[in-house]
């Protein structure tokens, strides 16, 4: 019979070394992924998109814009909603706690789109609509700020309509 000659190394020892090497490699990969994830999280926290959404209480329009909105409202909206928003017809009021409660928690884009659907006989530009929205926000007690409200959908979606001031 032929005797099998040893190959010069112990298979059991080599298998343990290989398993240990694979284990170390997996640990290094896991550590790298955790480090990368942590770094991305830290950068994400600094991103403006990671910050809390603004609300209608954060001064999302300017006083100048509200004045333009008042003029646009008089020209385009007052015939139905009344010159001082005091409609006495079948048209619902667009000022007051009951009205703004309808929009609570929704993106300002939803309010903007509803206002944009009027008047039915004349289409306003997105900027004219933003000005009217600024006027309506002012008449409902929301404060003015230093940056004009734009008519861009993505910006409007980042502003939450809040009926009550935070902390009240």
Q: Write down the domain spans for the chain.
A: 10-37, 56-160
CA quadruple 33, 37, 39, 43: dihedral sign: positive
Residue 48 — very low, low, confident or very high, per pLDDT cuts 50/70/90? very low
Q: Is 85 left (phi over 0), alpha (psi -120 to 50) or beta?
A: left
Using an 8 Å Cβ cutoff, are 73 and 135 in contact? yes
Mean pLDDT score, 16-37: 57
**Angle at which helices 108-116 and 126-139 pack, to 10 degrees?**
110
- Evaluate whether 139 touches 34 at the Cβ level (below 8 Å): no
Top-confidence residue, 87 or 22:
87
- Please give the pLDDT value at position 94: 86
pLDDT tens digits for range 66-77: 999 999 999 988
Distance CA 61, CA 128 (A): 13
Q: What is the pLDDT of residue 91?
A: 74
Q: Is 1.10.645.10 the CATH classification of the domain at 56-160?
A: no
- Single pTM value for the model: 0.67
Taking a C-beta distance cutoff of 8 angstroms, is the pair 132, 73 a contact? Answer: yes
Q: Does residue 25 or residue 152 have the better pLDDT? A: 152
In this predicted structure, the answer to whether residue 15 has a pLDDT above a threshold of 70 is no
Which pLDDT score, from 0 to 100, does residue 23 have? 56
- In angstroms, rounded to a whole number, what is the distance separating the alpha carbons of residues 53 and 157? 9
- Can you give the three-state secondary structure of 105-140, one letter per residue? CCEHHHHHHHHHCCCCCCCCCHHHHHHHHHHHHHHC
Residue with tokens 């290094």: 28
């Amino acid at each position: 019979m032929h005797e099998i000659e040893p190959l010069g190394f112990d298979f059991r020892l080599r298998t343990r070394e290989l398993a240990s090497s694979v284990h170390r490699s997996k640990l290094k990969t896991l550590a790298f992924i955790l480090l990368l994830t942590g770094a991305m999280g830290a950068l994400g926290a600094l991103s403006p998109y990671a910050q809390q959404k603004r609300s209608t209480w954060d001064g999302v329009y300017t006083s100048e814009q509200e004045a333009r909105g008042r003029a646009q409202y008089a020209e385009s909206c007052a015939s139905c909603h009344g010159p001082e928003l005091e409609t006495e017809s079948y048209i619902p009021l667009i000022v007051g706690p009951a009205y703004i409660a309808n929009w609570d928690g929704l993106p300002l884009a939803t309010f903007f789109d509803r206002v944009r659907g009027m008047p039915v006989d004349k289409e306003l530009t997105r900027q004219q609509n933003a000005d009217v929205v600024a006027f309506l926000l002012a008449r409902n007690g929301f404060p003015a700020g230093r940056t004009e409200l734009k008519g861009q959908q993505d910006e409007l979606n980042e502003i939450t309509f809040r009926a009550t001031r935070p902390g009240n």
